[in-house]
Amino acid sequence: MDLFDNLALGFATALTWQNVGYALLGCLIGTFIGLLPGLGPISTVAMLLPITYSLPPAGALILLASIYYGAQYGGSTTAILLKLPGESSSAVTMIDGHAMARQGRAGVALATAAIGSFIAGSFGVLLLATVAEPLTEIAFLFGPAEYFSLMVLGLVGSIALSSDTIDKSLGLMVLGLLFSLVGTDVNSGEYRFTGHISDLYDGIELTALAMGVFGVAEIAFNLEQYNRERNRNATLAKVTQLIPGKKDIRRMMPAIARGTAIGSLLGALPGAGVTMASFAGYALEKKVSRYKDELGQGAIEGVAGPESANNAAAQTNFISLLTLGIPGSAIMALLLGAMIIQDIQPGPQVISNHPAVFWGLIASMWIGNLMLVVLNLPMVGIWVKMLRVPYRILFPVILVFCSVGAFTVRASVFDIYLLGAFGILGYVLIKLEVSPVPLLMGMVLGPMLENSFRRALMVSRGDLSIIYSRPLSLGLLIAAGLLIVISAYPSMVRKRKAALAEESA
């Protein structure tokens, strides 16, 4: 089968009215949460995960994926009009975007963000479609040792680029791995770490952990801040002229191209994610743009570059998840959870075993990007009204969806208590200034990591050298080691601290 046939199959799947509906719904939800500061895609995807259990596999993945890339569009609107980062990935767009808005060019800035995101998104999807199949063929050379090393690389990658020092994230990741082992051991049937609580025999529910750590904990923290600085009145910029002029288009195109390139690259790396991509996109403009002196004062490049970069990254983020079954970021980890629940065994065999799901998801991502342009440009006035929903109404709603969602998964009241407990843990982590993302990564990858470790050593009859004597496995481990070394450099630590607060929120 060649790419054309595959895409035809994909569009046939994605264009059924249910799947178009899921994509539209996801784009709407994504834009909405992207707009709202203080509610991020991680907690939203976690909240909606339980609902997707009752959907067919393609529909579930289409819905969750479109929330994720939709949030990248919405975040820029808040950044430009309100000078608040709706998402952490649009924090840099704020600088020039809001400066443009103050000059009465809010409409042009919004249009630039949308056009840039669409071009970058389309390119990202195309890239995903072309590299996916060749990559899976490499993956068929993998034995358990290679899988173990690949997972180590994925885990290390997801923490190497976070803003925390590596030892703290590493510890949190190990804690996540341990949490994932709670419950029945598949090999021996023994109950581990359950404390004779029968509700734990099936393990800790992933959604309860994710919603507790990202939802409940963040609400408690946000509320603390919100109550302290009451009545901060942000002024909303007016949207006028939406259509950019000829000169604007001439200036934005090169920046879009650069942003797309760097975003696609960073998105494909494990752990880099969308926030990193938008910061890199901005940094690149600062270095190479012809108008770099205007950056910071409302240069169109300062919107086009980072916005294209984060949306390209949002699409290429899917590459390692869909081809190797290794999630590169917290959202991808949740999507992996969704795949497992839909009985899609993640890994290179996804494309051949579930072609309709795989190509349907890819096609729907392009359709979704198209929808988002339409949703965001002509309808921007409606979205702006949404920004006026006060937090005091919003946060009980989030809490309701977390609590109801926790019960929904296994119809278990115990999971509601788990949600509360993980809320406390998440709050402690926020106060101790560690990002909870590695915890989630460990929780998702733990069972597979243990399984591949056990299988590799069973194959080699207890000879540990199987992990480092095979060239492919060794190469992956070396890559993981390099990431740790690079991230431990003090200059890197400082740069990252300055650059990104955190993936979540």
Partner 1 sequence: MAPSFIRNQPDFVLGVLYILAGGGFAAAASRYDMGTLAYMGPGYFPFLLGILLAGIGAWIVLRAMLIRGARVRLAPWNLRSLFWMVGSVIMFGLALQPLGLVIALVLLVVLASLASHEFTWKTTLVNALVMVVLNVGGFVYGLSIPFPVLPQIAAFQL
Rounded distance between C-alpha atoms, residue 77 and residue 341, angstroms: 34
492 sits near partner 1 (criterion: CB under 8 A) = no
Mask for 166-205, x = binds partner 1 (CB under 8 A) = -xx-xx--xx-xx--x---x-xx-x-xx------------
37 sits near partner 1 (criterion: CB under 8 A) = no
User: In Å, what is the CA distance from 309 to each residue of 159, 268, 317?
Assistant: 21, 12, 12
Taking the complex as a whole, the smallest distance from the CB of residue 276 to partner 1 amounts, in Å, to 24
Contacting residues for 35 by C-beta, under 8 A, at least 6 apart: 74, 75, 77, 78, 86, 383, 386, 387
Site for partner 1 in 198-257 (CB under 8 A): 216-217, 219-221, 223-224, 226-227, 230
Q: Is the dihedral of CA 18, 22, 23, 25 positive or negative?
A: positive
Nearer to partner 1, 293 or 463 (CB): 463
Nearest CA-CA partner of 4 in 350, 369, 359, 370 = 359
11 sits near partner 1 (criterion: CB under 8 A) = no
Number of residues that bind partner 1 (CB under 8 A): 64
501 sits near partner 1 (criterion: CB under 8 A) = no
Rounded distance between C-alpha atoms, residue 173 and residue 16, angstroms: 40
408 sits near partner 1 (criterion: CB under 8 A) = yes
Q: Which two tokens stand for residue 421?
A: 């407990």
Q: Which stretch binds partner 1 (CB under 8 A): 112-120, 139-147, 375-383, 426-434?
A: 426-434
Nearer to partner 1, 192 or 495 (CB): 192
Q: Could you tell me if 63 and 48 are in contact, meaning their C-beta atoms sit under 8 angstroms apart?
A: yes
Nearer to partner 1, 179 or 358 (CB): 179
Taking the complex as a whole, the smallest distance from the CB of residue 206 to partner 1 amounts, in Å, to 17
Packing angle of the helix pair 106-139, 355-376 (nearest 10 deg): 170
382 sits near partner 1 (criterion: CB under 8 A) = no
User: Which residue in the block uniquely carries the two structure tokens 């059924």?
Assistant: 16
φ/ψ region of 434 (left if φ > 0, alpha if ψ in -120 to 50, else beta) reads beta
51 sits near partner 1 (criterion: CB under 8 A) = yes
Nearest CA-CA partner of 83 in 102, 108, 107, 105 = 102
Nearer to partner 1, 166 or 295 (CB): 166
Taking the complex as a whole, the smallest distance from the CB of residue 496 to partner 1 amounts, in Å, to 17
16 sits near partner 1 (criterion: CB under 8 A) = no
390 sits near partner 1 (criterion: CB under 8 A) = yes
Nearer to partner 1, 11 or 53 (CB): 53
Rounded distance between C-alpha atoms, residue 184 and residue 51, angstroms: 25
Taking the complex as a whole, the smallest distance from the CB of residue 390 to partner 1 amounts, in Å, to 8
Question: Residue from 424, 474, 484, 492 that binds partner 1 (CB under 8 A)?
Answer: 424
User: Which residue in the block uniquely carries the two structure tokens 């609400």?
Assistant: 219
Nearer to partner 1, 137 or 433 (CB): 433
386 sits near partner 1 (criterion: CB under 8 A) = no
Measured between alpha carbons, how far apart are the two ends of the chain, in Å? 41
Taking the complex as a whole, the smallest distance from the CB of residue 316 to partner 1 amounts, in Å, to 31
147 sits near partner 1 (criterion: CB under 8 A) = no
Q: Which two tokens stand for residue 216?
A: 């409940």
Nearer to partner 1, 170 or 371 (CB): 170
Question: Residue from 8, 243, 345, 417 that binds partner 1 (CB under 8 A)?
Answer: 417
Site for partner 1 in 462-491 (CB under 8 A): 462, 464
SS3 percent helix, strand, coil of the chain, rounded to 5, is 75, 0, 25
Taking the complex as a whole, the smallest distance from the CB of residue 55 to partner 1 amounts, in Å, to 9
453 sits near partner 1 (criterion: CB under 8 A) = yes
137 sits near partner 1 (criterion: CB under 8 A) = no
Rounded distance between C-alpha atoms, residue 255 and residue 252, angstroms: 5
DSSP annotation of 328 reads S
φ/ψ region of 329 (left if φ > 0, alpha if ψ in -120 to 50, else beta) reads beta
- Residue 248: its H or E element: helix 246-268
Nearer to partner 1, 373 or 492 (CB): 492
DSSP annotation of 229 reads T
Mask for 87-126, x = binds partner 1 (CB under 8 A) = ----------------------------------------
Rounded distance between C-alpha atoms, residue 327 and residue 318, angstroms: 8
The 3-class secondary structure across 168-215, one letter per residue, is HHHHHHHHHHHHHHCEECCCCCCEECCCCCHHHCCCCCHHHHHHHHHH
Interface residues with partner 1 (CB under 8 A) are 51, 54, 167-168, 170-171, 174-175, 177-178, 181, 185, 187-188, 190, 192-193, 216-217, 219-221, 223-224, 226-227, 230, 390-393, 395-397, 399-400, 402-404, 407-408, 411, 413, 416-417, 419-420, 423-424, 427-428, 431-434, 450, 453-454, 457-458, 460-462, 464
